[in-house]
Amino acid sequence: MLESIKEEYISSNKKSWDEAAPRFFGRTALPIYGPFLPKENELKLFGDLSGKKVLEIGCGSGHSLKYMSSQGASELWGIDLSDTQIETARNLLSDCTTKLNLFQGAMEKNPGIPVEYFDIVYSIYAIGWSVDLRMTLRNLYDYLKPGGSFIFSWEHPLHNRLSQNGNQIIINKSYHEEGLQQCEPWDSPAIMNQLKLSTYINELIQAGFQIERVVEDVVIQEEINSDAVWYTHQKAVLIPPAFIIKCTKK
Residue 223 has pLDDT above 70, yes or no: no
pLDDT of residue 228: 66
Residue 103 has pLDDT above 80, yes or no: yes
Range of the domain at 221: 2-249
pLDDT of residue 147: 98
pLDDT of residue 2: 57
- Show Cβ contacts of residue 6 under 8 Å, excluding neighbours closer than 6 positions: 108, 131, 132
- Show Cβ contacts of residue 95 under 8 Å, excluding neighbours closer than 6 positions: none
* pLDDT tens per residue, range 4-46: 879 999 999 999 999 999 989 988 999 999 999 999 999 999 9
The SS3 call for residue 17 is: helix
Phi, psi of 172 (to 5 degrees): -115, 0
Type and span of the H or E element at 164: strand 162-165
pLDDT of residue 188: 83
Which CATH number belongs to the domain containing residue 160 in this structure?
A: 3.40.50.150
Count structural domains, the chain: 1
Residue 75 has pLDDT above 60, yes or no: yes
Tell me the average pLDDT across 208-213.
98
- Measured at the alpha carbon of residue 225, what is the angle toward residues 222 and 226, in degrees to the nearest 5? 105
Rounded-to-integer distance, Cα 117 and Cα 145, Å: 5
The rounded mean pLDDT for the chain is 93
- Measured at the alpha carbon of residue 27, what is the angle toward residues 198 and 204, in degrees to the nearest 5? 20
Rounded-to-integer distance, Cα 230 and Cα 30, Å: 21
CA distances from 53 to 4, 122, 135 (A): 34, 11, 22
The SS3 call for residue 135 is: helix
Rounded-to-integer distance, Cα 111 and Cα 47, Å: 28
Residue 66 has pLDDT above 90, yes or no: yes
Min mean pLDDT across 107-111, 157-161, 184-188, 236-240 is at 184-188
Residue 164 has pLDDT above 90, yes or no: no
Residues 245/13/107/130 CA torsion (nearest 10 deg): 40
pLDDT of residue 1: 42
